[in-house]
Amino acid sequence: MKKSNAKQVLLETLKKQYRIESIRGSDVVALNSKAILYIRYSKNVGITKNLIGKFWFGITESEYEKYCTQNLFIVCACAFAPEEIDYLVFPSQKFDQIKKDIVLRSGQWKFNLLKTNEERWFLQISNKGKYEVTQFLNYFDFSPSEFRKTYWPSLGELQPKVSKEEVVPVSDRPIPLEDELFITAKDSGNPKNFELALEKFFAEMGFRCKRIGRAGETDVLVLEPVRFIVDGKSTKRDVKSAINFTRIKRHMKEHKAEFMVIVSVGFDPAVGKDGEMEGATLIDVQTLISLLKSHKEYILSPFDYVEILRQPGIITSEKLSTLQETIQYQRDLVAKPLILIQNLDFTPRNVDEIKGRTDLYCEQNRVANIERVEMESLLVFLAHDLLGIVERKDNKYSLRFTPQSSKEKLRNTIRILCATQLDERNDNGRS
């Protein structure tokens, strides 16, 4: 297989989404004048006991330094066969971390990319060790780093060289759900593992669900708060062939589901259009991981996610923008009682006086004002016996603690509330 073929396959695919401008042949290209790709190619040099692929790469220092400040991505094309190519895509910010451990030789940073029998990828540095880089497989988000608000592939610590073995076999220890989703989505030989990962994902997101996964059945049935089905397509590459929507729609009807969600590594645009026409929601595993990471940072209701998941077609960043707006709105709400506490003290004041103080504070700190009705609700909340932070007397409000102690009291109460275990023993006196 010629170098140009592997690169051409990539460029032809990218042309469907980007305007391609050649900077130096097919080695260095620009996408929409927003990102630069430095594309390298290598053939598989052989299979060993632990490996199904080993590839050699060299990144030229002068070429890299020329573009590294211009949203540069290193694309390593790993060719197993003419029709089987894996692409490892490294943003320059991540490669900067890697090259610190590589001795520059003949003007290049040289390393191996290794694919294990478990379909994990490692970047091996001679006489140093290796990084696991599975998350960078087919990572085609070329937006500038400041605009990446969700998923960002992680680079673990350098694993020092411990023996002559090229890769230490992966242990059976539990792995983060993000990694489990990413790995099992590409493991087409073991679809059950992807089904289990999807069940864990939807449970983590606040849904009550169960895995079915029998032959001729849907993979995951989500029961509450909204009933829908999830079908996982584990595959090494984007789904290009037609999906059997008729079968999935039959499953939806059998389970009295409101809509269907199909998850895979990615979807060809033509499949996306078919999904939209058939009323199916298509979501790639990278987006799924983005949702999970966002959820761990700020928990939203499953009802919020349902509004996204019930939209037919491929779930895009534009569709996810409403979730970011919801998160920002919730963050603003959380800040308001703290702003109110900051503008109260031991002196009793009526709502108008407090409103004037907080308006001035908000103006000076360039934050949105708290409306009067909202302020009254917050004062009642802070005066509730559960918190007891604010004293209410003769329609005037004052703090019962200093502002700093009030915030500590609020945190302490929430911590106790979350740690308290309810007595869930059977009570025969209850229906």
pLDDT of residue 147: 52
Residue 294 above 60 pLDDT? yes
Residue 312 above 70 pLDDT? yes
Token digits of residue 165: 């073995």
Note the pTM of the prediction, 2 decimals: 0.55
pLDDT, tens digit, for every residue of 178-192?
988 988 888 877 888
* DSSP for residue 106: T
pLDDT of residue 108: 92
pLDDT, tens digit, for every residue of 48-63?
777 888 999 999 999 9
Rounded Cα–Cα distance for residues 172 and 175 (Å): 9
pLDDT of residue 430: 43
Half-sphere exposure of 193 (CA within 13 A, CB side): 17
Report the mean per-residue pLDDT for the chain: 85
Residue 416 above 50 pLDDT? yes
pLDDT of residue 167: 37
Residue 424 above 70 pLDDT? no
Rounded Cα–Cα distance for residues 223 and 227 (Å): 5
Cis peptide before 91 (omega within 30 of 0): no
Rounded Cα–Cα distance for residues 122 and 119 (Å): 10
Which domains are assigned to the chain? Answer: 3-160 (3.40.1350), 177-315 (3.40.91.30), 327-419 (1.10.10)
pLDDT of residue 402: 93
Other beta carbons within 10 Å of 350: 11
Residue 6 above 90 pLDDT? no
pLDDT band at 153 (very low <50, low <70, confident <90, very high): low
DSSP assignment string, 360-381 = HHHHHTT-PPPPHHHHHHHHHH
Residue 16 above 90 pLDDT? no
pLDDT of residue 83: 75
**Mean pLDDT throughout 163-174?**
44
Strand order in the sheet with 259-264: 208-211, 220-224, 228-233, 259-264, 280-284, 313-314
What are residue 393's DSSP bridge partners?
396
Q: Which of 154-163, 166-175, 232-241 has the lowest mean pLDDT?
A: 166-175
pLDDT, tens digit, for every residue of 213-237?
777 788 999 999 999 999 998 886 6
Q: Which amino acid is at 134?
A: T
Rounded Cα–Cα distance for residues 378 and 143 (Å): 40
pLDDT, tens digit, for every residue of 359-395?
999 999 988 889 999 999 999 999 999 999 999 999 9
Kindly give, in sequence order, each residue whose CB lies less than 8 Å from that of residue 273, ignoring residues fewer than 6 positions away: 313
**Mean pLDDT throughout 114-133?**
88
Residue 427 above 60 pLDDT? no
pLDDT of residue 238: 60
